[in-house]
Chains A and B, each alone.
Chain A
Amino acid sequence: QKEVEQDPGPLSVPEGAIVSLNCTYSNSAFQYFMWYRQYSRKGPELLMYTYSSGNKEDGRFTAQVDKSSKYISLFIRDSQPSDSATYLCAPRTGRRALTFGSGTRLQVQP
C-alpha cells in the first residue's frame, strides 16, 4: 500500500461548481498536510496547508483533515477555468521530506 493515495482523475466540472479533492494516507505519524497545485509543464506550488485535524480556509479554498480516518480533503468553491491543474496532497511528519500523492487532475469547463 502506498503511503498516500489519490484518485488520478481527470475530474471535469463546470465553471462555478464546488470541487472536492481527496487523499487517504497510511502513516499515522503525519502531522502536516500540504496541498500543492501543479499547472501543466510547470513545477508544483504550495496552495495551503493544515496542521493536525480540522479545517482551514483561504479564499475559495478549504482544506480539511480527519486524522481518525486518515482522510484529507481540499474543497474549491466557485471553481474557475484557471483552477484547472493537478492537485497534489503531501502529508509529512516534522522531519521527513514531503511524501506526495500522485495528484488529481482537475478540469474546469467554461
Chain B
Amino acid sequence: DTAVSQTPKYLVTQMGNDKSIKCEQNLGHDTMYWYKQDSKKFLKIMFSYNNKELIINETVPNRFSPKSPDKAHLNLHINSLELGDSAVYFCASSRDSGTGELFFGEGSRLTVL
C-alpha cells in the first residue's frame, strides 16, 4: 500500500495551460511538502503545510498555488505554465514539521512544450 502517492506520474502540456498535481499520504503525518527537482537534480522546497496550515512558502511564482483540503492531501495547481516549469515535482510528508525524516512520493514529471 503506497505511503505517499502522487497523480499524475507524467504530464505533458502546452505553454499557457493550467494543470494540477494531487498528493495523498496514508501515514497519518501532520506535515506535507512540495519539492521541485530540476534537470540538474537540485531538489528545492516550494511549500509546506502542517495540519492544513501553510508554514513554508518559498520564493515561488504566484502561478503556483498549493491547497490542502485535509492533512492527508496536498495539491498543487499551476497556472499559465511556462517552459521553465518543466521539472519533476515531489510530494513528501513527515510526522511533524520538526523532523527531517521525509517520506517522498515517486514524483510527477511535468513537461511543458
Whether A associates with B in a native complex is: yes
**Are the C-beta atoms of A32 and B41 separated by less than 8 Å?**
no
A49 CB contacts on chain B under 8 angstroms: 100-101
Q: Is the interface of A mostly helix, strand, loop or mixed?
A: loop
Contact of A98 with B100 at beta-carbon distance under 8 Å, contacts A8-B40, A86-B41, A88-B43 already known: yes
**Interface size of A in residues (CB-CB distance below 8 Å):** 24
Instruction: Give the docked Cα–Cα distance between A87 and B62 (Å).
Output: 31
Query: CB-nearest residue of chain B relative to A44?
Result: B104
Nearest-CB residue, chain B, relative to A90: B100
B98 within 8 A of A: yes
Residues of A within 8 A of B56 (CB): 97
Say yes or no for B92: interface residue by CB 8 A criterion.
yes
Chain A residues with Cβ under 8 A from B45's Cβ?
Answer: 97-99
Which of A45, A46, A95, A100 lies in contact with B42, CB distance below 8 A? A100
By secondary structure, the B interface counts as: strand
Contact A102 B101 (CB under 8 A): no
Contact B41 A43 (CB under 8 A): no
Q: Report Cα–Cα, A105/B90, bound state, in Å.
A: 19
User: Contacts A43-B4, A44-B104 known; A94 to B44 CB distance under 8 Å?
Assistant: no
**Residues of chain B having any CB pair with chain A under 8 Å:** 4, 33, 35, 40-45, 48, 56, 90, 92, 98, 100-107
Q: Can you report 9 A-B residue pairs in the complex whose CB atoms are below 8 A from each other?
A: A8-B41, A38-B41, A42-B106, A42-B107, A43-B107, A44-B104, A49-B101, A102-B40, A105-B41
